Amino acid sequence: MVKVGVVGYGVIGQRLADGVARQKDMELVGVADVAPTLAIRALKEKGMPYAFYLGMAENKPQFDALAIPVAGTLEELVQKVDVVLDATSAGIGAKNKELYAKYNKKAIFQGGEKNSVADVFFHGYANYEKGLGKQFLKLTSCNTTGLIRSVDCLDRAYGVEKVAITIIRRVADPGDYHRGLTNALQIDKAPSHQALDLMTIMPHIDATGILVHTPVTHGHIITVVATTKQKINKAQALEAFGRHPRIRVVRIADGFQGNASLFRYARDLGNPRGDMYEIALWEESIVESGRDIMYAINIPQEAVTIPETMDAIRAAMQMQTERLAAVGETNKHLGLGKWLQN
């Protein structure tokens, strides 16, 4: 049983903890943070299902005042685990790395950290084998994670030469106030980092992209124009996407009109927090254009990287040495692909 700790119990950290808790071959030893945030207060009100460790000892009086039980320090948590999932704010993970290295522990960082923090820039489907046995892995960002899922799917089925993407990006997570209330769109300088990151993971594909920030909070939408090595039609693309356990093909005709429809459906399914681990791909968005195939996907930014993080644990700890065996275990424990049997 692989012992796992989660450092940073925020938007991603909460979901990582839940994801690890669902893996039958992993044990969540505990979670760590520095302040009694709303997420920690909610953890206490739920009866402390996860042991809590304190990232800054001088803040303990704040937790004592709220009667939040503290199981120990961050350093003690690190000593108890085999692998750490670092979900702290960008830049903090790189500092925490010194502690993980001190105790010779493996660690997996989220997409906000610089690539230099890790031995391998990792994606479960696209380059699983490169992560085998490595000490430090870094996940791709939420957008890049979902984008690579779809491109890798087409690439393994038909071969992909190049992609051009447009990202319509949510401006902030739900509940974030620091970005302000806006009524505008903002475009970034091309190419977007997601296109560059895709080429880092999949160097045989030429990629470029544009990113537009939008004043919404639930999900990004990415349009992709892919040039495949052999010309394919819509039916062939649909067949490949339809077999993928982390891609859910949906139809506008069925009521999936956009990101809000998907979020509402996830809540109706009873998913905790309305989370979706899978990306959604609209069937009606698949279009043939000469040699190219075009499609649109939805990226549920709060939860989409959780499956690939579980894959990263499996790779770093060499729980499975073969890609499909590893992602298959993750998918099974997270309930991914259930819709394929419906």
Cα(162)–Cα(198) distance, integer angstroms: 11
**HSE-CB of 269 using CA atoms within 13 angstroms:** 16
**What does the radius of gyration of the chain's CA atoms come to, in whole angstroms?**
20
Q: How far apart are CA 86 and CA 287, in angstroms?
A: 39
The DSSP H or E segment spanning 227 is strand 220-228
Q: What 3-state DSSP class applies to 236?
A: helix
Instruction: Report the alpha-carbon distance of residue 25 to residue 108 in Å, rounded.
Output: 18
Structure tokens at 177: 């106030």
From the candidates 28, 77, 142, 147, which is the catalytic residue? 142
Is there a binding annotation on residue 33? yes
Burial classification of residue 75, based on how many CB atoms lie within 10 Å of its CB (0-12 exposed, 13-18 middle, 19 or more buried): middle
Helices (H) and strands (E) in the chain, counts: 11, 16
Residue ranges in 46-168 assigned as alpha helix (H): 60-65, 74-80, 92-102, 142-158
Phi, psi (deg, nearest 5) at residue 108:
-125, 125
Phi, psi of 155 (to 5 degrees): -65, -40
153 included as an active-site residue: no
Question: For residues 304 and 148, is the Cβ–Cβ distance under 8 A?
Answer: no
- Of 28, 11, 129, 40, which is closest to residue 84 (Cα–Cα)? 28
Residue 44, classified by CB atoms within 10 Å of its CB into exposed (0-12), middle (13-18) or buried (19+), is middle
Tokens 């891609």 belong to residue: 247
**Among candidate residues 311, 275, 281, the one with its CA nearest the CA of residue 12:** 275
| C-alpha 268, offset from chain centre | 22
Q: Which residues are catalytic?
A: 142
Per the annotation, where are the binding residues?
33
Per the annotation, where are the binding residues for NAD(+)?
33
